[in-house]
Chain A
Amino acid sequence: MNELLVTALILPFLGKYRKPATLMAFLFAVYLSLVEGYYLATFFFILSIVLMGISRWEPAKYPLLFLAMFDLIGLVNSQNLLELFLYFELAIYASYFLIFGKENLRALFRYFIVNSIGSAFMIFAIALTFVTSGSLNYLTNPALVFFVLGLLIKLGMAPFQDWLVEIYHKVSLSLILFFSVVLTEVAPLALLMVVDRPVKALELLALFSMLLANLLALAEKDLIRLLALIDASNLAFDLLAISIATAASRVAAIYMMFSHVLAMALAFSVIVLSGSKRISRLYIPPALTAPFFAAFFILSGLPPFHLFPAKVVLFSAVFDATQGTSYLLLFNLLLNAMVALRVMAAAKTGKTKKAIPLSFTVLVWSLVLISLILGLFPNFFFQLSASQLAYLGGPHLGFSESLIPSIPASFGQTLTGLISR
């Protein structure tokens, strides 16, 4: 961590060498995280390198990307609530500068205001905890709700997703990927670190949010807004798994987080590259037809792609904990699939005027391939998620579980003894 902190501080002063130096720094970070067995960080650093490969930013912005990534890693390594909050804020501030531009000042201002409101909730929760328990390691029940609410406002969960949509409309694809993939998807990690017991209020909030997001998405006409709503419903799936707080559901949350990162990256890429804004005028260039359908097939959660095992893990964990909630979840998973299928049904093939850069073509096809491989052989991914849970727990914030759970027995039994011959 210290080596990375020093690197993050040096990078902005390297003038015209900032881009290659940042790339070297990311490679160094990948090496360090691999050596230390911290695969979650490796995952984010590799994603950053991909982002660097496809972006056309001015050199000054690359050190900011490194700083944001460093902060996210600091966040999941936090030893107490205040540290967690500070790393989160730093990452957000780095993102302010990343998206800074004359054309999107209004969106940036709105982003700033919404984030400040979220921060206020989080600070209030930390203060409440400190005043009532004298500790910064454990959130008391009312404080927990405020803290989570603050996080969710910051991260664009339904119905607080509008500021995010405005940003998506203004910035380039590489920045959209940074927001949708890195920044908002890391929220479940922060939530995992503070929610260590079943909280019914959060479970209800998650169910309400996913239902709202899915219903709004079914009626939405703007494509970017629709994707933001799908993103929001995915966040709600994670929140549900986290709020149940069993070993299996916590692994499911991390698994879903990894999975959403890949699925949303692909979906945003194909939609932005197609140049379509409205669902009624969704023209897919021939070069993107297969990745487009693959992206929404993946988002619908159907096999053979990677989101299917993720949803099996999620459903089985919820099914084992509370069967009533699992049926509501199943209904929402179906709604989620319908949203994705609606987009597929609206697609028309057409020729786009602008050529699609080779880097993006490679990106979308790589994502489709990774999704297929992880759908066919998801066990490695599952074990990785479980080991990350063990890493998140243990020394930090008072967690102690490191058990790698299997698919709950009651779900497994449901599936056996059906084949008659």
Chain B
Amino acid sequence: MFSKGLGLALAIFGVASITHPVSFEWLPGITFGWQVVPEWAPLMGVFVLITAIALFSARKFTRKQLATFIIFVSGLLGFVGASHPLQFFFFMEMMIFPAFYLIFEQDPAIAFKYFAYMQVAALLVLAGIFSSGTVSAVMFTLAFAIKMGLFPLGSWLPDAHSQAPHSLSTLLSSCTVVCGAYGLYRFSYHSFLLLVLAFMSIVYGAWRATRDEDLKRVLAFSTVSQMGYAVLALIYAPRILPTFLLMHSLAKATLFLSAGIIIDRTGIRRMEGLGVTSFSLMPACLVATLSLAGVPPLLGFWTDLAILKAVTPLPLMLVALATMFFTLLYVERLMAIFFRREGRQKVEGWLPLLTAVLLVLGGILYE
């Protein structure tokens, strides 16, 4: 209870920082500031909400796990409010250790894979900070591409997201990958390199999401694909990026929370043969998946439309549009578990509805 209270206090501190910037002398000559960029404030609010939901869904966590989880959350919220270059490196590292420990308990091999990729990304950020010009831009591009899980640099993502405890994978997929896009937004990047990676990720992620059998891996590959779209937004329509990422965070939080509840109750991870009946999870997942696919009037429709309108090279726009149909294919696969007749089990969970409602409201109120 104490740990959850501490986590909530952190979350409240996160909200307070949107309007009340904090700064202190970390070391003489190095001042660490904490202030959320105004246009990213709604996303910070969503992070705080997802953090609170993840904390409350972490029922099976031991005290040690909760303590490390709170360090992870501090790193996550710290990253979004960072103002000194060294802080970005600091908070990236702050997320690595707890996530590594929590994944290690499930699968040591995947934990080390995650650790190695994240460490390389953090060191590339450090190298980017100490270099300049194109070299610096390339370093930042590679570092945050790893963090976002862009293909082929992000092979850690499907493994780590699927093996992490459910609360952690909710945060990993909805918030930490978003930190990669945020890092690129704050630092310089190499447009061409990033565009190539984004293009490959959109196609590869969507294709693997239609093929994979593990429920959480399908969601993880969908994240890879969506991060490709985030890069398109970053390069061609930076103003829409925070809203797109907000939509992604809400949708992925809904889906990972639902997947966690389903896997916990049924004990089945493979999608083949998994049948679920649910009054709460079905509408939540439907809203989240349709929003990812860009179906009106959900928030995803407006963000995808804005991105497609902004992407000026016609071939690239056509590829992005075509890949959205792939998205519909895996949406159909995900939703099929709610309509399968054989071996159905009743599963309920109300937390995902919270984030799903925000997706609907976002779509209706979008300007």
Closest chain B residue to A300 by CB distance? B119
* B29 contacts the other chain (CB 8 A): yes
* B22 contacts the other chain (CB 8 A): no
Q: How far is the CA of A294 from the CA of B185 in the complex (A)?
A: 31
**Chain B contact residues: over half helix, strand or loop, or mixed?**
helix
Ordered by A's residue number, 14 sampled pairs between the chains whose C-beta atoms are within 8 Å are: A290-B67, A297-B97, A304-B97, A348-B108, A377-B24, A378-B27, A379-B25, A379-B26, A416-B85, A418-B136, A419-B83, A420-B188, A421-B37, A421-B186
A326 to chain B, nearest CB (A): 11
Task: List residues 83-121 of chain B with CB under 8 A from any CB of chain A.
Answer: 83-86, 89-91, 93-94, 96-97, 100-101, 104-105, 108, 112, 115, 119
Whether B97 contacts A419 by the Cβ 8 Å rule is no
* B75 contacts the other chain (CB 8 A): yes
Q: A382-B27, A418-B129 are in contact. List 19 more A-B contacts (CB 8 A).
A: A289-B104, A289-B105, A293-B101, A293-B104, A297-B97, A344-B115, A349-B108, A377-B26, A379-B28, A404-B28, A407-B28, A407-B30, A412-B30, A415-B30, A418-B136, A418-B187, A420-B186, A420-B187, A420-B188
Q: How far is the CA of A406 from the CA of B24 in the complex (A)?
A: 15
Within the complex, which residue of A348, A377, A418 is in contact with B85, where a contact is CB–CB below 8 Å?
A: A418
Within the complex, which residue of A294, A407, A415 is in contact with B97, where a contact is CB–CB below 8 Å?
A: A294
Known contacts being A303-B93, A304-B71, is A345 close to B112, with CB within 8 Å?
Answer: yes
Whether B90 contacts A303 by the Cβ 8 Å rule is yes
Q: For A379, list chain B residues within 8 Å (CB).
A: 24-28
Q: For B85, list chain A residues within 8 Å (CB).
A: 415-416, 418-419
Q: For A345, list chain B residues within 8 Å (CB).
A: 112
Q: For A289, list chain B residues within 8 Å (CB).
A: 101, 104-105
Q: How far is the CA of A304 from the CA of B98 in the complex (A)?
A: 11
Known contacts being A313-B27, A379-B25, is A304 close to B94, with CB within 8 Å?
Answer: yes
**9 tightest CB-CB pairs across the interface, nearest first?**
A407-B29, A406-B28, A303-B93, A304-B94, A406-B29, A303-B90, A418-B85, A412-B29, A302-B93
Which positions in B face A, CB cutoff 8 Å?
A: 24-30, 37, 64, 67-68, 71, 75, 83-86, 89-91, 93-94, 96-97, 100-101, 104-105, 108, 112, 115, 119, 122, 129-130, 136, 185-188
Q: For B64, list chain A residues within 8 Å (CB).
A: 290
A141 to chain B, nearest CB (A): 32
Task: List residues 389-421 of chain A with CB under 8 A from any CB of chain B.
Answer: 404-409, 411-412, 414-416, 418-421
Q: For B105, list chain A residues within 8 Å (CB).
A: 289
Whether A304 contacts B90 by the Cβ 8 Å rule is yes
Q: How far is the CA of A405 from the CA of B112 in the complex (A)?
A: 40
Closest chain B residue to A411 by CB distance? B29
Whether A382 contacts B28 by the Cβ 8 Å rule is yes
Closest chain B residue to A386 by CB distance? B28
Q: For A419, list chain B residues within 8 Å (CB).
A: 83, 85, 186-187
Task: List residues 318-368 of chain A with CB under 8 A from any CB of chain B.
Answer: 341, 344-345, 348-349
* A117 contacts the other chain (CB 8 A): no
Q: How far is the CA of A156 from the CA of B131 in the complex (A)?
A: 38
Whether B93 contacts A407 by the Cβ 8 Å rule is no
* A309 contacts the other chain (CB 8 A): yes
* A163 contacts the other chain (CB 8 A): no
